[in-house]
Amino acid sequence: MRLFVTAFVGVVFGFLIGLCFPKLSLTKFSLSASILTAIDFKYTEYTKLGPSSSTRVSHPVGNNGSSANVTLKKIWVPSNPRGAERLPPGIVRAESDFYLRRLWGKPSEDLTSKPKYLVTFTVGYDQRKNIDAAVKKFSGNFTILLFHYDGRTTEWDEFEWSKKAIHVSVRRQTKWWYAKRFLHPDIVATYDYIFIWDEDLGVEHFNAEEYIKLVRKHGLEISQPGLEPNKGLTWQMTKRRGDHEVHKETEEKPGWCNHPHVPPCAAFVEIMAPVFSRDAWRCVWHMIQNDLVHGWGLDFALRKCVEPAHEKIGVVDSQWIVHQSVPSLGNQGESLDGKAPWKGVRERCKKEWSIFQTRFSRAEKAYLKEINSTSH
């Protein structure tokens, strides 16, 4: 009985108290400045504005408790990278790298060193001993990136250096397929030089640091080491000369060069072991066709990316390599119509060369035609 009476009295008392105060409208309730922060307010107003509009709004309360007027303008910066026009320029980070980061600690303390160069190899596990020997020719100034065409990656951890390397695995692809997809210029922008090499190169007479010194000394934007003359040689231009540090031109068979400064007599390196400066690679990446994966024909077009090409493309003779001609990637093809797998791969290589030449020629003619038509 006592509990009942107490509850009844409490209800009546609460009802009477409610009658003594005016109604509280929740729709008119205003948050104080301590609850609605400036960034919350600005974001709410920001979302109401158009791409290039601006508006003057009244901030509920200023820092000192008084009203304040704030002019907000939606961000649109055409000079930002495509797709980032709505971001303030100060937050845009258009470039990246392959530096490994920790999962703990301060970001500013993650890196004990920043390699200045990048070397990539397109590899199969069967060539691990050759790659191990090659990687050991590159100092700590190089980031090591392996593209695995056979899908085997964890096995490489038998090598201590592999645990710090970058591994990308996609089966049955070529190095130019990988390069187009994983070596965008903005991704490798932190590296001064990018090596894009095959897996079957003998490097007994090669030192990467010395190579870089010679490339800088002779102003080469696109280069390759000289090739041992007695094995795997296709072009005279890439043949090693024992009495040179670097050479930039050569003599080929009669009729092969219509000018001494054009490929294959000059401005020419092969696609097995090219080395690109950062600026040259930015151009070359854009020239690589997305569907032409073997890269045949690129070597004759590289000169379009530097000027003057016959001075900035060359072969480093004093740091030389051996092309061992191991047909490992060729064997990743399929046997069709009774042909060996490597034959089908070789046929596609030749077709791609023809397609690339045709595309480049048509693109140049179309551009020149457009320029001529607009200049009259």
Domain parsing of the chain, residue ranges: 117-327
Query: pLDDT class for 335, splitting at 50, 70, 90?
Result: low
| Mean pLDDT on 309-338 | 84
Q: What pLDDT, on a 0 to 100 scale, did the predictor assign at position 50?
A: 45
Query: pLDDT class for 38, splitting at 50, 70, 90?
Result: very low
Range list of β-strands (E), 160-208: 166-169, 193-197, 201-202
Alpha-helix residue ranges (DSSP H) falling in the chain: 2-19, 38-46, 128-135, 175-182, 208-217, 278-287, 298-301, 309-312, 341-374
| Mean pLDDT on 348-359 | 95
Q: What pLDDT, on a 0 to 100 scale, did the predictor assign at position 338?
A: 72
Fold held by 117-327? Spore Coat Polysaccharide Biosynthesis Protein SpsA; Chain A (3.90.550)
Q: What pLDDT, on a 0 to 100 scale, did the predictor assign at position 13?
A: 65
Q: What's the number of CA atoms in the CB half-sphere (13 Å) around residue 322?
A: 10
- Average pLDDT over the chain reads 85
Q: What pLDDT, on a 0 to 100 scale, did the predictor assign at position 181?
A: 98
Residue 146 in contact with residue 221, Cβ under 8 Å?
no
Q: What pLDDT, on a 0 to 100 scale, did the predictor assign at position 54?
A: 47
User: Among 21-30, 94-103, 191-200, which stretch is predicted with the lowest mean pLDDT?
Assistant: 21-30
Q: What's the number of CA atoms in the CB half-sphere (13 Å) around residue 10?
A: 6
| Mean pLDDT on 316-337 | 80
User: Tokens 């960034």 correspond to what residue?
Assistant: 39
Q: What pLDDT, on a 0 to 100 scale, did the predictor assign at position 232?
A: 59
| Mean pLDDT on 273-284 | 98
| Mean pLDDT on 98-108 | 95
Distance CA 274, CA 235 (A): 14
pLDDT exceeds cutoff 60 at 25: no
pLDDT exceeds cutoff 90 at 359: yes
Q: What pLDDT, on a 0 to 100 scale, did the predictor assign at position 19?
A: 60
Query: pLDDT class for 336, splitting at 50, 70, 90?
Result: confident
**Cα distances (angstroms) measured from residue 77 to each of 39, 87, 88, 251:** 21, 7, 7, 52
What is the DSSP pairing of strand 201-202 with strand 193-197?
unpaired
Q: What pLDDT, on a 0 to 100 scale, did the predictor assign at position 34?
A: 42
Q: What pLDDT, on a 0 to 100 scale, did the predictor assign at position 318?
A: 96
Model pLDDT for residues 163-220, shown as the tens digit of each residue? 999 999 999 999 999 999 999 999 999 999 999 999 999 999 999 999 999 999 999 9
Length, in residues, of the chain: 376
Percent with pLDDT over 90 in the chain = 69
Distance CA 353, CA 181 (A): 20
Q: What pLDDT, on a 0 to 100 scale, did the predictor assign at position 49?
A: 45
Phi and psi torsions of 362, nearest 5°: -65, -40
Query: pLDDT class for 342, splitting at 50, 70, 90?
Result: confident
Q: What pLDDT, on a 0 to 100 scale, did the predictor assign at position 5?
A: 65
Q: What pLDDT, on a 0 to 100 scale, did the predictor assign at position 61?
A: 45
Query: pLDDT class for 46, splitting at 50, 70, 90?
Result: very low
